[in-house]
Structure 1
Amino acid sequence: MIQYVSCGFELGGQEDYDRLRPLSYPQTDVFLVCFSVVSPSSFENVKEKWVPEITHHCPKTPFLLVGTQIDLRDDPSTIEKLAKNKQKPITPETAEKLARDLKAVKYVECSALTQVSGEAWLLTKQLQTSHGEKCGYSKP
């Protein structure tokens, strides 16, 4: 009999938590590295902060790159706000390229508003049982 246990943690990005976050990594089967497709700064943090951190502490643990808030990608108000800062929403192609470059298992998108998220959940379950290694404890 196979038993599934899913635990999710949203780990704060504030610098105050930089030393504490890795304490929650041991025994992790898969990481979901999330960013908002309408927040270029959160997309930058994927490659500048989050993936380097998890690959340092858990080099053999797989991760999915997850674009959130896809319902806002075509929202006129959101596009206008981004344009004021000379920014645009992150395209699926741009995110897929980053996922390949960072060696993510896959890039998936989701939206809480439109209930698009099934693929991320299904892939997480598959990865928990078939890919990589659990993250062992390493130095924080």
Structure 2
Amino acid sequence: MILDGQKYTIQLHDTAGQEEYDKIRQQFYKRADCFLLCYSIDNRVSFENASTKWIPEIKTNPPVPIVLLGTKLDNRKGKNNEVSTGEGDRLKRAINANSFVECSAKDYRNVELAIEEGMRACLMGVPEPEPEDSWACCKDALRCF
């Protein structure tokens, strides 16, 4: 891939979520330069698993950059059980991911951006955690004045 005029070779590994691949996944994690952590926008369980199952599993020492990907963007229909963009953004901050992208392989929306963000994360390394915004709860109320 070419990013900012520089040519890079990338290798993607889909480590699958099935339990029978647990040992194989661990081997891939040791050599990872970046994780593209995916959840399905139309599947709340997959979103919850991103933080409760996958983040604990992929946490490495030293830490490795993470790009959070909300997949199946083409399935967003505005239903209550869907994961909102705001929820994805909050998870991105909670896990200290480098970036967050919603994408769709079906209609090829933001797929290239997702890969570019992965490459940028590899180059930048793990970001400093964002400071907690102690005024976040009040900002909406302040906009009213």
Give the TM-score band, short-chain normalised.
0.7 to 0.9
Q: CA deviation at 1:40?
A: 0.7
In structure 2, the residue matched to 1:129 is: 123
Deviation at 1:118, TM superposition (A): 2.4
**What is the match of residue 24 of structure 1?**
28
1:25-45: per-residue Cα shift (whole Å, max 9, x none)? 233111000011001111111
Counterpart of 2:14? Answer: 10
2:30 is paired with a residue of what secondary structure? coil
Unaligned runs of 5+ residues in structure 1 are 80-86, 133-140
Count of aligned pairs between the two proteins: 120
Q: What residue identity is the alignment partner of 1:88?
A: N
Contact 2:67/2:121, CA 8 A, preserved across alignment? no
TM-score (structure 2 length as normaliser): 0.74
How well do the aligned residues superpose, as a CA RMSD in angstroms?
1.8
For 1:84-95, list aligned pairs within 5 A: 88-95=81-88
Tell me the secondary structure at the aligned position of residue 119 of structure 1. helix
Matched residues in 1 for 2:31 and 2:72: separation? 29
* Letter of the 2:67 counterpart: L
The aligned runs of 1:1-140 (5 Å cut-off) are 4-55=8-59, 57-74=60-77, 79=79, 88-116=81-109, 117-132=111-126
- AA of the residue aligned to 2:88: A
Distance 2:106 2:20 in 1: 31
Distance in 1 between the 2:41 and 2:62 partners?
A: 26
Q: In structure 2, do the counterparts of structure 1 residues 37 and 58 end up closer, same or farther at CA, with 3 Å as the change threshold?
A: farther
- Unpaired runs of 5+ residues, structure 2, are 1-5, 127-145
For 1:58 and 1:74, how far apart are their aligned partners in 2? 39
Q: Relative CO higher for 1 or 2, CA cutoff 8 Å, sep ≥ 6?
A: 1
Structure-2 change in CA distance of 1:70 and 1:97 (3 Å): same
Per mean C-alpha deviation after superposition, the further-off stretch among 22-31 and 96-105 is 22-31
Matched residues in 2 for 1:108 and 1:22: separation? 25
